[in-house]
């Protein structure tokens, strides 16, 4: 009987959305404090009860914790975004790979590196976001941390100047085979363009011929990253708002909505 009583109290405390209201009048603060004190005392004396409640309501607890975590993160980001939005940032977009409508009113810039694991995880999220939002354009910005990363970027940038669709196919395939690329960059790049119906040797020769031009674009991106204190990859800017690290669709949605205020 005691356990049932305690479980009922805990359920009402932890799962208010499932509790039935017993009065339309809100309890007084003193009543709330007394109730809280009683719960704390109960948990001290019977800590195992909390675990019983969690087991019996696992999905509800997981949902509540996840929601609270996302709400807390959004609140922290919005505090930062209030400062970001007052600090205009400009980026070069010409001759960079882009996804979406070129005339979209919103722009999402992503500084990325093909050998970055977190960039690999974020790439699919960002592409899904762009597909779901016709009013947002994605512009890719290079921020390589190695010669291997820079080599892939040269191929990606050159391909984008020839065929934007194939450029993003190249982008996605490099990320899918990230480890294989790290082990043997030239052969993986050649195999990807071969699968796209292009002559890999000719494409490699063109990359080499235009290396200075391609490196100039990449180096300009790197200078912008340093200017805006990009600390790592992925690093995103959407309408002046800054997003650091791997992102979720929820956070991208929040940033877009916040920037439209």
Per residue, the 3-state secondary structure of 97-150, as one string, reads CEECCCCCCEEEEEEECCCCHHHHHHHHHHHHHHHHCCCEEEEEEECCCCHHHH
pLDDT above 70 for 248: yes
Region class of 148: left (phi > 0), else alpha (psi between -120 and 50), else beta:
alpha
Percent share of the chain, pLDDT over 90: 69
- pLDDT value of position 59: 59
For residue 255, CA distances in Å to 148, 161, 229 come to 32, 30, 20
Listed in order, strand segments (DSSP E) in 154-257 are 235-238, 241-244
Which range, of 5-14, 153-162, 207-216, 221-230, averages the lowest pLDDT?
Answer: 5-14
Percent share of the chain, pLDDT over 70: 74
- pLDDT value of position 28: 61
Which range, of 51-65, 118-132, 140-154, 235-249, averages the lowest pLDDT?
Answer: 51-65
Q: How confident is the model at residue 242 (pLDDT cuts 50, 70, 90)?
A: very high
- pLDDT value of position 210: 98
Mean pLDDT of 32-51: 68
CA-angle at 128, arms to 126 and 134, nearest 5°: 95
Sheet containing 241-244: give its strands across.
Answer: 98-99, 136-142, 106-112, 235-238, 241-244
- pLDDT value of position 116: 97
- Cβ atoms of 49 and 10 within 8 Å: the answer is yes
Pairing of strands 136-142, 106-112: parallel
Q: How confident is the model at residue 68 (pLDDT cuts 50, 70, 90)?
A: very low
Backbone angles phi, psi at 98, to 5 degrees: -135, 160
Which has more pLDDT, 216 or 52? 216
Angle at which helices 185-195 and 164-176 cross, to 10°? 130
Mean pLDDT of 12-20: 47
- pLDDT value of position 54: 59
Which has more pLDDT, 212 or 33? 212
């Amino acid at each position: 009987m005691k356990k049932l009583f305690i479980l009922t109290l805990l359920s009402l405390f932890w799962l208010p959305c499932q509790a039935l209201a017993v009065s339309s009048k809100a309890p007084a603060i003193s009543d709330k404090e007394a109730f809280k004190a009683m719960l704390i005392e109960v948990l001290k004396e019977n800590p195992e009860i909390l675990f019983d409640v969690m087991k019996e309501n696992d999905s509800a607890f997981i949902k509540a914790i996840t929601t609270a975590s996302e709400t807390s993160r959004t609140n922290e980001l919005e505090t930062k975004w209030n400062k970001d939005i007052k600090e205009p940032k400009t980026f070069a977009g010409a001759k960079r790979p882009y996804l979406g409508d070129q005339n979209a009113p919103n722009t999402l810039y992503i500084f990325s590196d093909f050998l970055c694991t977190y960039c690999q995880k974020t790439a699919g999220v960002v592409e899904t976001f762009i597909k779901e939002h016709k009013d947002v354009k994605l512009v890719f910005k290079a921020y390589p941390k190695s010669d291997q990363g820079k080599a892939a970027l040269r191929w990606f940038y050159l391909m984008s100047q020839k065929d934007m669709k194939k450029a993003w196919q190249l982008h996605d395939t490099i990320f899918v085979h990230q480890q294989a690329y790290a082990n043997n960059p030239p052969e993986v790049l050649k195999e990807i363009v071969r699968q796209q119906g292009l002559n890999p040797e000719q494409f490699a020769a063109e990359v080499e011929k235009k290396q200075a031009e391609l490196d100039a674009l990449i180096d300009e991106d790197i200078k912008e990253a340093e200017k805006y204190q990009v600390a790592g990859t992925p690093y995103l800017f959407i309408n002046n708002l800054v997003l650091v690290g791997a992102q979720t669709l929820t956070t991208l949605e929040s940033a877009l909505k916040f920037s439209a205020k």
